A and B are shown apart, each in its own frame.
Chain A
């Protein structure tokens, strides 16, 4: 299973990389906790559990978040999805795909100068709701959009 593999990485080789990153000053020790929380969030199944892992349970829906994507994606292996947050002081954006084995697809942190507008491509096993979670001033907001997939993206 992938879980045992991840655990092994976290405990063993992963720490080596982490140590190296630390030495390079790429991540400050303060983010170590965030890193661990992220790991848990990526393993969570379904949107409610993922929200809990991100500490975002009870996020309020907001019209200021736009999910940019086609309504119907032909190829589930490559679904272009963009998240655009107009909420001031947005410092984190996460993208969740409801029906994927693990809902969390990606999360972004914005530091000085980073604009809360990202585009990426994700895999989707089947038609599903896509949820964007935004953190601004310590509060969580969300937006939802359904994307229909004609051809699933899981190996095929």
Chain B
């Protein structure tokens, strides 16, 4: 199972600033290993962010996103105490969801 995400969500006025750090290899499929064989692509392809269970931002990623991806976005209409949950799915079908409370 993948490592947990680090999520920080802070409310400034009615805008919630969310920063996420995910732990993922993000292999491009272009790189070769020591034996000269292509390392197969392995990357997060879908990220969904929800505020109190309602999706607010959806991300579609390709292998060009850096290793251990960082994502920062803003959500209007949130306040301290609300729940922000992030779900990612990679191209092997593995997924992970983490939730934080807005501070």
* Chain A positions near chain B (C-beta within 8 angstroms): 2, 5-6, 9, 13-14, 16-17, 21, 26, 38, 42, 77-80, 82, 97, 100-102, 104-115, 117-124, 153-155
Q: A121 with B65: in contact, given A111-B56, A111-B57, A154-B28 (CB under 8 Å)?
A: yes
A to B contact number (C-beta, < 8 Å) = 130
Contact assessment for B93 and A120 in the assembled complex, using a CB-CB cutoff below 8 Å:
no
Pick from A14, A80, A113, A120: contact of B78, CB below 8 A.
Answer: A113
Contact of A105 among B41, B64, B73 (CB under 8 A): B64
Contact A100 B93, beta carbon cutoff 8 Å: no
Cβ–Cβ < 8 Å partners of B72 in chain A: 82, 118-120
Q: How far is the CA of A105 from the CA of B60 in the complex (A)?
A: 9
Which residues of chain B are within 8 angstroms of A13 by Cβ–Cβ distance? 92-93
Please tell me if the beta carbons of B57 and A42 are within 8 angstroms of each other in the complex.
no
0/1 interface trace, chain B 46-77, chain A, CB 8 Å (1 if under): 00110100111111111111110111111111
B40 at the interface (CB under 8 A from A): yes
Q: Please measure, in the bound complex, the distance between the C-alpha atom of A2 and the C-alpha atom of B39, giving whole angstroms.
A: 10
Task: Enumerate chain B residues within 8 angstroms of A154, measured Cβ to Cβ.
Answer: 28, 30-31
Task: Give which listed residue, B57, B64, B69, B74, contacts A109 with CB less than 8 A.
Answer: B57
Q: Interface size bucket, B side?
A: 35 or more
B29 at interface (Cβ–Cβ under 8 A)?
yes
Contact B64 A77 (CB under 8 A): no
Contact, CB under 8 Å: B64 / A17 = no
Assembly CA distance A14 to B48 (angstroms): 17
What are the residues of chain A within 8 A of B55 when measuring CB–CB?
Answer: 26, 111
Q: Cβ of B69 and Cβ of A120 under 8 Å apart?
A: yes
